[in-house]
Each structure stands twice: as C-alpha cells, then as structure tokens.
Amino acid sequence: MTTAKRDTYTPETLLSVAVQVFIERGYDGTSMEHLSKAAGISKSSIYHHVAGKEELLRRAVSRALDGLFGILGEEPARVGRAVERLEYVVRRMVEVLITELPYVTLLLRVRGNTDTERWALERRRDFDHRVAELLRAAAADGDVRGDVEVRLATRLVFGMINSMVEWYRPDGRGVSEREAADAVVQLVFSGLRKQH
C-alpha cells in the first residue's frame, strides 16, 4: 500500500493532504513529521516536491485566492451595471467557496505569523476592497440602499458567505451548491437592493 501510494504521489495529492492537516492542527501546530505521517510518505519524499511546509501553505492559499480573483476577471463581473456585477460576484464567491472548500477554509484561518500568511491576508484584503468598490459603485448608481455604510455592509456580507465553511459539507445529502448560492443572493440582495 505504502509503495503504491508512493508511486502515484503527485504534488496535487500531497497538497490536498497537507491542507487537511493544516485545518485540523492549525498551520503553526503542523510539523513535517505530521505531514509525512498523514501522507504516508517519507519526509525526504515531501522535500522532493516542496521546499517545506510554508510552500505547501502558499500553494494551498494561492489556490483559494486564484479562485476568488478569477471571479473578478470573468465577463459578468467586468461588464454591466455595478449592482448586477456585484450580484454575479457574490454568487460566484459562494460557488468558489464550495468548489475549493478546504482551500478557502484554510485561507480564512490564516492569522499572519509568517511571510506567506501576511501575504495571504493582504491578498484577502485586496479582494475585500475590490468587492467593496463594486458595492460603492452600485450605491452611487442608486441601485443599493444608502443607509448601511459600505465597509460595514461588505463585512457583514463576507461574514455570511465565509461562515459557510463552518457547516457546508459537499456530501450530496445537504444543501446543494445551487441552493446555497441562490439563498445567499436572495438574502443579500433583497436586503441591499432598493425596492422600486
């Protein structure tokens, strides 16, 4: 078994094991020994793939960040009225969170003790600002309510979406990706959008 695993090991499977261990033990509490045991390969085999655990963290949070920033490059996020672009981004954020659940979970737990963690936090803030800008533009268009301050509203909306990592399980028995995305969009937008 161990030999078979060793033969088929790829940087991709190593990353997915590492993310689980980081989530369970916390990044600080994870040693190369823990990673080696969980992956069922030797430490030297891990070092064959990556320079160390910080590289695994960087790859893992990059996957989540690439998913999120990728949304902003998609046409419906770039073209059209700000409120429609915002709605698209919120829906896609839920979808990316579900598709990349362990990676986004890890990203949201990053606290900033290493360069990689500080870099990840900064990228998260950049993303938050980009979404806040969209909300501000939608408010300027008169399409969303003006009585909730933009930064506060952004935080609350991100809070609602990000809290899904605490309970969402993609096991096919619970809430589907579509139901979750619809529910978030309904709750957020019938709240944010002015009723005409």
Contact residues for a second copy (CB under 8 A)?
145, 147-149, 152-153, 155-164, 166-167, 175, 179-180, 182-184, 186-192, 195
Residue 176, SS3 per DSSP: coil
Residue 4 CB, nearest approach to a second copy (Å)? 34
Residue 196 CB, nearest approach to a second copy (Å)? 10
C-beta of 73 vs 159, nearer to a second copy: 159
Alpha carbon separation from 195 to 89, 150, 151, 171, 176 (Å, rounded): 21, 18, 21, 37, 29
Q: Give me the amino acid identity at 138.
A: A
Nearest to 108 by CA among 14, 39, 22, 12: 22
C-beta of 32 vs 175, nearer to a second copy: 175
Residue 186 CB, nearest approach to a second copy (Å)? 5
C-beta of 130 vs 145, nearer to a second copy: 145
Residue with structure tokens 């009225």?
A: 81
Residue 178 CB, nearest approach to a second copy (Å)? 12
Q: How crowded is residue 56: how many other Cβ atoms within 10 Å of its Cβ?
A: 26
C-beta of 147 vs 171, nearer to a second copy: 147
